[in-house]
Amino acid sequence: MSIIQAIILAVIEGITEFLPVSSTGHMIIGSSAMGIAEQEFTKFFTVAIQFGAILSVVVLYRKRFVQSWNFYLKLLVGFLPAAVLGKLFGDQIDALLENVLVVAVSLLAGGVILLFVDRWFRKTETRGESDVTFPAAFKIGIFQTIAMIPGVSRSAATIIGGLTQKLTRQAAAEFSFFLAVPTMLAATLYKLHQFYQNGNGLGAHEIGLLAIGNLVAFVVAMLAIKSFIAYLSRHGFRMFGVYRIVIGLVILLLHFFGVELQIL
C-alpha cells in the first residue's frame, strides 16, 4: 500500500463511517479499484483507521463525554448485544463478509428503507439524545446487530433504531455516533489481536501509513459529521437512500460483468 492509497482509503472511511451508506461497500469498491483488497495489511488498515474516526466523535462531542456515569452505562448497554452476538456467531459473520452479493443486496434493501424513513417517523420524533433510557439504549443496540450483515451500515441501523424510540433525527444520529465509540474501538482492538495472532507484524512503513490514515480519517470524519447533522436536520434520509441504491447497483453490475471485488 502506498501513501496515496492509504489517504484515499482514509478519506473513504472518514466520509462514510458515520453516514448511513455503508463504509464496507465503499471500501470494497475503493480497495478493489486500487488492486490492494487482497493484502493482509489492507484488511487491518481499514479497521485500524476507525480509531481516527472514533476520536473525531470524542473531540466534537467532548462535553457529552464528561457527563455522568449514566452516559457510559447507556453506551455499554447499547454495545452488549453486538458484543455477545459477535462472540457467538463470529464464524458465520466472517462467512457473510466473503459474499459480495450480500453487500450489494443489503445496500439496495437499506436504500429502499431510507426512502421512506422520514415519512414513517415524522410524527414520532419527540425526544432528545439525553432522553435515551436504558431500555431504549438496549433496543438501539439490537438494531446495531443487524449491521453485522455487511452492507447494512452500522450508522443506518442504529439511527433507525433511535427513531423507533421516538428520538429526533439529530438525536438518533448523535446517539449512533456515541455508540460507535465502544463498538468500533472493540473491533479495532480485536482486528489488531487477530493481525498479530496470524503472525503478521508492522514495519516503519506500515506504522507511518497507519498514522497518516488515522489523521486523515479524523479530520474528514469531523467534517462529515458536521455536514451530515446539518443536512439531516433540513432534508432527511431520502437522498442517502437513493445513493445506497446506486452503489448497490454498481456493485451488482461490476460483479455480474466479471470485475473481481474483494471483501475486506
> Count of domains in the chain?
1
CA angle (65, 146, 148) in 5-degree steps: 85
Give the least confident one: 65-69, 115-119, 245-249: 65-69
CA distances for 25 relative to 68, 114, 233, 241, 264, angstroms: 36, 16, 25, 14, 9
Distance CA 207, CA 142 (A): 35
- Tell whether 172 is covered by a domain: yes
Cell of 151: 452492507
Contact 152, 200 (CB under 8 A): no
- Tell whether 50 is covered by a domain: yes
Q: Which residues contact 212 (CB under 8 A, 6 or more apart)?
A: 3, 6, 7, 10
- Residue 167 dihedral angles phi and psi, to the nearest 5°: -75, 155
Distance CA 250, CA 21 (A): 14
Q: Which residues contact 76 (CB under 8 A, 6 or more apart)?
A: 182
CA 127 to chain centre: 24
| Mean pLDDT, residues 179-194 taken together | 85
- Tell whether 264 is covered by a domain: no
| Domain boundaries, position 45 | 3-256
- Residue 122 dihedral angles phi and psi, to the nearest 5°: -55, -40
DSSP 263: -
Return mean pLDDT, the chain. Answer: 86
Give this prediction's pTM.
0.86
- Tell whether 262 is covered by a domain: no
**Secondary structure E strands in 81-220:** none
CB neighbourhood size of 56 (10 A): 24
- Residue 20 dihedral angles phi and psi, to the nearest 5°: -80, 55
pLDDT of amino acid 264: 45
Q: pLDDT tens, 130-141?
A: 778 999 999 999
Cell of 98: 466473503
Q: pLDDT tens, 152-178?
A: 888 999 999 999 998 988 889 999 999
- Tell whether 134 is covered by a domain: yes
Residue 111 has pLDDT above 90, yes or no: yes
DSSP 18: T
- Tell whether 263 is covered by a domain: no
Distance CA 130, CA 125 (A): 14
- Tell whether 207 is covered by a domain: yes
Distance CA 35, CA 41 (A): 13
Distance CA 113, CA 116 (A): 6
Higher pLDDT, 122 or 260: 122
Distance CA 196, CA 203 (A): 13
- Tell whether 173 is covered by a domain: yes
